[in-house]
Amino acid sequence: MSALLDLTGRRFGRLAVIRRAENIRGRPAWECVCECGDARAVSSSSLLHAGTQSCGCLCRERLSASAKVSSKTHGRASTSEYRSWCAMKSRCLNSNATGFDRYGGVGVTVCAQWLGSFEAFIADMGEKPTPEHSLDRWPDKSGNYEPGNCRWATKREQANNRKDNNVVVYRGRSVTVREIAAAAAVSRTAIVRRVGRGWDAAKAIETPAMRACR
């Protein structure tokens, strides 16, 4: 266990750290006051590693600014993509966000380039093909938000990815769990469960099942 780094008095963007707060999911957190006047608890890791810089007002402001700009100038500018970018960051970083339990709460992260820059995100992802497309982690649906593991997909494509075609990257190749389970050391369910817990695909596939205690 490492010693707790005291962040009292530090500033992170618009956030000023006031004092220690109750832990968030067992991890140290700090009571912060935002320049907009909102107060909230933010974890050490969000402040130090994830680039959290406001209570969420920064994202909201840029979103409404970009909506104004896009309605005036470019017809189909990046408002919808910007909203996706904000929502992605929010479900991974903001412990109060809807869905945090299934994202940030289980260790899903956003890569550093995308965290800090919407422009980097849009340069890698391009625009949504249609308004029906949303951001999907693929081929590794348990993986992180980063180049190479994200696509714009329709609801139907995402459902396929979830239901019968859990895809893992194994030895440099995208394969469905169903395909690989035939040759694996353990059952398909065990592979899905292990990968869901954050195991590397090769380890999940090759590690034999635990034997019951004798």
Q: Which of helix, strand or coil describes residue 210?
A: coil
Written as six digits, the tokens of 131 are 């308004």
Rg of the chain's alpha carbons, rounded to an integer? 20
Q: Which of 29, 55, 167, 175 binds Zn ion (CB under 5 A)?
A: 55
State in angstroms the smallest separation of the CB of 49 from Zn ion.
20
State in angstroms the smallest separation of the CB of 36 from Zn ion.
3
Give yes or no for a contact between 195 and 142, defined as CB atoms under 8 angstroms apart: yes
Q: Which of helix, strand or coil describes residue 121?
A: helix
Q: CB under 8 Å to 167, separation ≥6 — which residues?
A: 138, 139, 140, 141, 161, 174, 175, 176, 177
Binding residues among 18-37 for Zn ion as defined by CB under 5 A: 34, 36
Q: Residue 69 interacts with Zn ion (CB under 5 A)? A: no
Q: Which of 16, 18, 57, 169 binds Zn ion (CB under 5 A)?
A: 57
CB nearer to Zn ion: pick between 58 and 192:
58
Q: Residue 110 interacts with Zn ion (CB under 5 A)? A: no
Question: Which region, judged by CB under 5 A, interacts with Zn ion, from 16-24, 57-65, 76-84, 139-147?
Answer: 57-65
> Identity (one letter) of the amino acid at 61?
E
State in angstroms the smallest separation of the CB of 96 from Zn ion.
13
Q: Residue 54 interacts with Zn ion (CB under 5 A)? A: yes
CB nearer to Zn ion: pick between 57 and 186:
57
Give yes or no for a contact between 87 and 95, defined as CB atoms under 8 angstroms apart: no
Written as six digits, the tokens of 26 are 């067992």
Helices 79-93 and 57-72 pack at an angle, to 10 degrees, of 170
Note the residues at the interface with Zn ion (CB under 5 A). 34, 36, 38, 54-55, 57
